[in-house]
Structure 1
Amino acid sequence: MSQQPIVLFDSGVGGTSILKELVDLLPYEDFIYLADSKNAPYGEKSPEEIIQLSVKNTDLALSYNAKLIVVACNTATTNAISYLRSHYQLPFIGIEPAIKPAASSSEVKRIGVLATEGTLSSELFKKTSQTYAKDINVKEVVGRGIVEAVEGGWTTDEKFISELSEQLKPFKDSEIDYLVLGCTHYPYIIPQLKILLPEHITIIDSGFAVAKQTKSVLKKNKILNTSRKKGLIRIFTNIENTAHIRNLVPDLENISVTKKEF
């Protein structure tokens, strides 16, 4: 079983930010990434729709003989992972906004969370926030058009940057010192965020923590690939723009990108 692949899925290309962290930490694993760009963004869909899409992706992952599934989408995690864990036998790794480290590190006790509407309105997010940030002022902002910009490859366009600047104003007004990125697409706009936000604001995402948790679960279940052969990476997307995905992961080796209906 240790030779079977790890499968990730997301509502598009954003979860490749998680894939890169996983490959860095687990270079001998085989990975399959399912980019459900046709249905992006998940953050604007109902919880029922998100569960349905997550089940579709999970069933496809099982057809590839997945040994572990990474739900590389904050919205899918917060809305569907409990359902997935109760209906399937293999391990699932989810992605949650890094509220805990931000809240514990904040000196001014004010942090920001930039996430999709689907994540911010979920019960899991509310529970996490109440547990780890009950004494912290948490400023929540719904990201608008960010997923679409990352999917379309126009994150450096002047119009997008202007719109992003407007979205960030509540964080500046609240004088936060940590900004949590609550969507796996958002790490791809960190260069823009660093220009638009005050220098003292620390930006954090969940990528490395997810990779560490994945390795821990593989060890615990005795399914870590112990070979010393670089793993293969297969990316499947259900839209035509495969070149954009390659541009996002230029440093990954042994990679193939293929269009597939799912």
Structure 2
Amino acid sequence: MTNNNPIGLFDSGVGGTSIWREIHDLLPNEDTIYLADSKNAPYGQRSKEEIIELSCKNTEYLLNQNSKIIVVACNTATTNAIKELRAKYDVPFIGIEPAIKPAALNSEKHVIGILATQGTLNSELFHQTAEKFQDTKIIEQIGHGLVPLIENGEIHSPEMNRLLHAYLETMIEANIDYLVLGCSHYPYLIPQIKKILPNHIKIIDSGEAVARQTKKVLLESVGLSNDTKKGKAIFYTNANPKVLSNILNNKYEVKSKDF
């Protein structure tokens, strides 16, 4: 089965491009449309009702662009809204959840850390997942302020360094051996995080697993593109396009659009 319609992705901002990269690398012939709702970032401080409303708005925009599958490239939107999205729209949805399972199963010390937004850590879906691993101590840390700094292009700022030290040192003292990045923005912080963490602590995020699941669903029920050429990638943002363009190393056109 072939289907040349694009894969649609949305996030509360630029962070979900970390998921887009994994999907683009695994499925290079697929056309993609990426929606950065930076005007409303961060989702993590919004109510569940607001997150559902914003997720529906983003989904409808992508469906109007004929997206054949929607990737919710945002932990907060997945954990708070994907159940409602699947009930409302007749299109497959791929979500992104913190990678607690691989961290818990591989942790030798049975102590793992998770750095995520308040919206993700407070969600019912997160608690349901965490409860499956009763023998693992999970050190939760809200990443207050990290997403706004990334959205403002201040990844390497002194304030970012200060916040990361404050958040990670608590986990180091708790003797974690895995750090789960529970926000699609956070993989862009891995170089700084590695400078702070001891070498034995492994960092894990969900990007590769999301890409594999996207391919699986496309193969089973939707259809892959039959084009042999490299897929086209379209990026939309409702905020400053320079930030998204810089995250993409200025290799792709970013369109400014109020959606």
When the two structures are superposed, what TM-score results if normalisation uses the length of structure 1?
0.96
Query: Is 1:127–2:124 an aligned residue pair?
Result: no
Q: What is the CA distance between 1:66 and its match in structure 2? A: 0.8
Amino acid at match of 1:40: A
**Matching residue of 2:141:** 141
Identity of aligned residues (%): 55
Distance 1:65 1:134 in 2: 43
**2:104 aligned residue:** 103
Structure 2 vs 1, CA of residues 42 and 222 (structure 1 numbering), >3 Å: closer, same or farther? closer
8 A Cα contact 1:50 1:80, kept in partner: yes
Aligned pairs for 1:75-224 within 5 A? 75-131=76-132, 133-224=133-224
Instruction: Supply the AA of the counterpart residue of 2:254.
Output: V
Q: In the aligned structure 1, how far is the partner of 2:250 from the partner of 2:126?
A: 33
CA shift at 1:199, angstroms?
1.3
Shift of 1:158: 1.5
Equivalent residue letter for 2:244: I
Give the structure 1 partner of residue 245 of structure 2: 246
Q: Secondary structure at the match of 2:131?
A: helix
Distance 1:34 1:71 in 2: 10
Q: Which runs of 5+ in 2 are unaligned?
A: none
RMSD of aligned alpha carbons: 1.1
Structure 1 runs not aligned, ≥5 long: none
| Aligned residues of 2:68 and 2:222 also touching (Cα < 8 A) | no
SS at the partner of 1:221?
helix
Which residue is equivalent to 1:7? 8
Give the match's secondary structure for 2:253: strand
Shift of 1:256: 2.3
The answer to whether the 8 Å contact 1:20/1:249 transfers is no
State the Cα deviation string for residues 162-181 of structure 1 (Å, max 9, x = none).
12211212201111000000
The structural deviation recorded for 1:247 is 1.8
Shift of 1:193: 0.4
The corresponding residue for 2:258 is 261
**Counterpart amino acid of residue 248 in structure 1:** I
Q: Look up the SS of the partner of 1:114 in the other structure.
A: strand
Q: Deviation per CA, 1:27-60: give whole Å up to 9, x if none.
A: 0000000000000000000000000000000110
How much does 1:251 deviate?
A: 8.0
Distance in 1 (alpha carbons) for counterparts of 2:222 and 2:85? 21
Which TM-score applies when normalising by structure 2? 0.97
Quick one: distance in 1 between partners of 2:70 and 2:21? 15
Q: Report how far residue 223 of structure 1 moved.
A: 1.2
- Relative to structure 1, the CA distance from residue 222 to residue 45 in structure 2 (aligned partners, 3 Å threshold; closer, same or farther) is closer
- Between the aligned partners of 1:95 and 1:159, the Cα distance in structure 2 is 27
CA distance in 1, matches of 2:209, 2:97: 10
Give, in angstroms, the shift of residue 196 of structure 1.
Answer: 1.1
User: 1:61 is matched with which residue?
Assistant: 62
Change (3 A) 1:222 1:157: closer
| 2:232 equivalent in structure 1 | 232
**How many Å apart are 1:76 and its aligned residue?**
0.2
Runs of 4+ in structure 1 over 2 Å off: none
